[in-house]
Each structure stands twice: as C-alpha cells, then as structure tokens.
Structure 1
Amino acid sequence: MKKKIFCFVLLCSVSLWAQTVISIDESISRNQNKSIALSLGASLLLPGTGEYYLGEKQLLRPFIWTDAALWITTIGSYFIGEKYISSAHNYAVTHAGVSSTKKSVDFLNTVADYRSRGGVFGQNSNPDMNEDYNQAMIRSGKSVDEEYPNTMEYQWDWGSSDYPENTEHMDIYKNMLRNYRVSRIVFQVSVGALILNRVVSFLDVMRIYRATSSKKMTRRWDIAPQFYPDGSGAVFSYQF
C-alpha cells in the first residue's frame, strides 16, 4: 500500500515538473525570427515603426505624432524665415535704395548696421560711428571694398537721422531681420529634435529586441576623432 502511495506521489511530482518545464514565456522569444537591422532601419526612417514591427504597437502613435509635429515646425519655420528675409530685402530696396538682387543675409545685416555705404545724402546734424560703412572700414584698417565691391549694386542710404521716419524705417528693417534669426533658430532646434527622436526610437528598438528575441547581442561602441582642414569632429559607430 505504501509503495502504491509513493508511486502515485512520484507520478504527480513528475507530472507537475513536466508541466513547469514545458510552460515557457513566449514574450521573451516572440521576435527571435525578426530582423534587427530592418527594425532599426525603420526607426531611423520613421520613429515608432521599428517598435511596431517588433509588436510594440502602442508606441507607434506617440512617435508618429511627435515626428509629424516636428516636421511641421521644421518646414514651417524654414519657409517663414525665407519670407522674412525676402520682406527685409524688398524693404531695403524701397527705403534704402538697395539695388542688389541677391538676398545675401550677411549683406542685409550690414545694411542694418550702417545708415549708408558712403555717407548719407544731405546734412546730418547728429552723425554717429555707424553712419558711414566706408569710414568704419577705414577706421578698422580695412579697404572699403574688402567685404563688398564698392559698386552701385552694394550701395544703400537710409537717409539722415534728422528725419525721424528714416530711423523708423531702419528699426522696422532690423525687426524683420530679428524675426528671420528667430525663425532660423526654431528651424535648427527642430532639425535637432527630429534627429533626437530617431535616436530615442533607435535605442528603444534595441532594448525591445534584446528583451524579446532570446538572442544575445554583442555590442561594440567606437568613437573615432576626425580632423579636417576647416575643423574637427567625431564619428560614433555601433556594431552588433
């Protein structure tokens, strides 16, 4: 009788052990047959799609909406900036006599810094150091045509400061350029955020794949300095 009870208990134990062994967590191996390269590439192209490919569908929407908002901001700030610089150029043509058709930002900034290229037309009872661009270049020991040719194309004159409307025109013009610079800052920040969104998605895909593929990923990080004639930088590489 005791032998029968012992055998029964032993069989039950073996049965329970067998059930425990064959019961596996499918979540840790559900992505073992999926391509890590494909998921990483998808995340770099469109953040969130790599996670979606690996079965993390709830992460798609946050990444997609974030990327869409950043793209709208990037494109919008770029074209708004172009509109501001065009408006500033047209305003300088109208009120300062600029005849250059080139919308050079550096030249337009110079037009904002000096009242004229070679002295304002008419008498000015209150001249200042920024009245005459050519004189400012001479005082700094430079040639008057070192930065821009001394031709009609690069002449401008906002008029004497004796007339308040002339100064007002300059202030309006400077504000246009200020708005242009702000739009360019927004553009650059948005581009950086687009890159960051892809880096975050890239790393997130690696985390998910390691947790759900039952595969060991050997990693190798490498940062190599780079030197160029006009500067330096670094190349970051990740191998697996």
Structure 2
Amino acid sequence: MRIILAILLASVAAFSQIVVSVNENVYKNSDKNVFLAVGASALLPGMGELYLNEKKMVRPFLWTDLGLWVVTVGAYVVGDRYVTSAHNYAVRHAGFTGKKNVSLLNTVGSYRSRSGVFGQNSSPDMNEDYNQAMIRSGKKVDEEFSNEVQWDWGSSDNPETTEHIEEFKSRMRHYRISRIVFQVSVGALILNRVVSMLDSWRIYRATSNKSFSSRVQFEPEFYDDGAALFMNVKF
C-alpha cells in the first residue's frame, strides 16, 4: 500500500504545474517616486493621484480647489472694496483726513469725533470724543494717531449724523465678514492640499509593493480530462 501511495505522489509531482496569480495593483507604481507624488499634490491637489494613475479622485480634488480659489479671491476683492467704500464714506460725511487703514477706520467708527463734536448734545456719551477717551485712560491724544488725523460725525442728537455713522459701521462690519470668509477659505485650501498629499502617500504605499503578500492560498485543480493536477497559488 505504501509503495502504491508513493507511486501516486511521484506521478502527481511529475505531471502537475503551479500557477501563480498576482494582483498587479499591488506593484503598478513600484517605479514611481513617492516624494514627487506628494509634492505634486501639494502644488495642485489631485496631481499626485493622477501621477499614480488613481484618476477617480483627481476631479474631486481639482474642482474643490478651484471653488475654494474663487471664494478666496472673491472674499479678498469684496473686502477691499468695503474698506475703500467705508473710507470714502467717512471722508464725505465725517471730514476724515486719514488714510485707508483698517485699524484707524475701526477707531473712526467707535468715536464720533477726534477733538470735539460739532453741535455737541447736552449730555454726550463719555466715549464720543476720541481725545477725551485717551485722556481718561491715561494716554496721550496723539499716542496712536497723529493730530493730523481728524474726523467728526456730528451730534448724536441729529438723526442724520447718526444714520451716517451707522452706515459707516455697517460697511466695516461687511468688511470683517468678508475677511473671515477669506481666512476660512485659505485654511480650506491648505487642508485640501494636506488631504491630497496624505491620499497620494496612501495610494503609493498600497500600489508600490515589489514583494508578494504574506497571505498564500493553495487551490488544487484538475484538468478537464483528468490528465494532471495543478496548484493555483494566490498571494
């Protein structure tokens, strides 16, 4: 019986063949450079994926980046226009003599005048006059801005002058909103690049393996005519 079994095993070994099946995806990018892929994604999200032949994520990254650039540039332009508009409005209605400076314009919206309100009402707010506010806080009146910078929105008893300063504040408020949108969109542009870089790194690691996987599966099969046995090996 042992002799017959040995003869059968020898016959199987003589007439069998081994077929090795390998998934090409695990090494299709073995000749690519991971740093080039990551760098391409840093410059333009999706390009790293395109370099690694993973095209399904190219368009999402590209369209996201394009949309964010439109929002970023748009928010910057709109914000600059609001600042210019607020500056011109202060020049026209408050006699503002300063330059287009955001910090200075915010101060102009916080105080009705620099050195005394024209037609001051009988019970003015303690902070209506910038110079008086500086003196009360122990600062010099020209510590932050030179005396050449002047403005006067007029008395708070006058509804028209109150409407003017409120309109000015509204324009500056719209500027701040556009500035927030600009900063958020810039952060999103950076995040889009970081995600694309990480995705390119992931794709490269998954598709640049030059060695076989450790999982091996043997599947013995016979030819249709039963002439021989072959082993199908899957990695």
- Is the structural similarity TM-score above 0.5? yes
Note the C-alpha offset of 1:36.
1.2
Partner of 1:148: 145
Note the residue ranges of structure 2 that are not aligned, 5 or more in a row: 212-235
Partner of 2:222: none
* 1:11 maps onto 2:6 in alignment: no
For the residue of structure 2 that corresponds to 1:119, the secondary structure is: coil
Given that 1:48 and 1:63 are in contact with CA atoms closer than 8 Å, whether structure 2 keeps it comes out as: yes
Q: Show the 5 A alignment for 1:175-214.
A: 175-214=170-209
2:167 to 164, 172, 175: 172
Note the C-alpha offset of 1:7.
4.2
Given that 2:120 and 2:154 are in contact with CA atoms closer than 8 Å, whether structure 1 keeps it comes out as: no
Partner of 1:84: 82
Partner of 1:227: none
Partner of 1:65: 63
For the residue of structure 2 that corresponds to 1:194, the secondary structure is: helix
When the two structures are aligned, how many residues end up with a matched partner?
208
Residues 126-154 of structure 1: CA deviation (Å, up to 9, x unaligned): 31022110000000000000000112xx1
Q: For residue 136 of structure 1, what is the amino acid of its counterpart?
A: A
Residues 212-240 of structure 1: CA deviation (Å, up to 9, x unaligned): 11169xxxxxxxxxxxxxxxxxxxxxxxx
Q: For residue 196 of structure 1, what is the amino acid of its counterpart?
A: L
Return the alpha-carbon distance in structure 2 between the equivalents of residues 77 and 174 of structure 1: 19
Partner of 1:111: 108
For the residue of structure 2 that corresponds to 1:19, the secondary structure is: strand
TM-score, normalised on structure 1?
Answer: 0.82
Given that 1:77 and 1:184 are in contact with CA atoms closer than 8 Å, whether structure 2 keeps it comes out as: yes
Residues 143-170 of structure 1: CA deviation (Å, up to 9, x unaligned): 000000112xx10000111111111111
Given that 1:126 and 1:162 are in contact with CA atoms closer than 8 Å, whether structure 2 keeps it comes out as: no
Give the RMSD, CA atoms, in angstroms: 1.8
Note the C-alpha offset of 1:10.
2.5
Given that 2:118 and 2:152 are in contact with CA atoms closer than 8 Å, whether structure 1 keeps it comes out as: yes
Q: Name the CA shift for 1:128/1:39 in 2 (closer, same or farther; >3 Å).
A: same
Note the residue ranges of structure 1 that are not aligned, 5 or more in a row: 217-240
* 1:134 maps onto 2:131 in alignment: yes
Residues 25-63 of structure 1: CA deviation (Å, up to 9, x unaligned): 211110010111211111000001101110100010100
Q: Name the CA shift for 1:123/1:192 in 2 (closer, same or farther; >3 Å).
A: closer
Q: Show the 5 A alignment for 1:29-44.
A: 29-44=27-42
For the residue of structure 1 that corresponds to 2:19, the secondary structure is: helix
Q: For residue 147 of structure 1, what is the amino acid of its counterpart?
A: E
1:125 to 111, 115, 122: 122
For the residue of structure 2 that corresponds to 1:55, the secondary structure is: coil
Partner of 2:221: none
Q: For residue 39 of structure 2, what is the amino acid of its counterpart?
A: G
Question: Share of identical aligned residues, percent?
Answer: 61
Q: Name the CA shift for 1:124/1:37 in 2 (closer, same or farther; >3 Å).
A: same
Given that 2:30 and 2:209 are in contact with CA atoms closer than 8 Å, whether structure 1 keeps it comes out as: yes
State which structure, 1 or 2, has the greater radius of gyration over its C-alpha atoms: 2
Partner of 2:230: none
Note the C-alpha offset of 1:75.
0.4
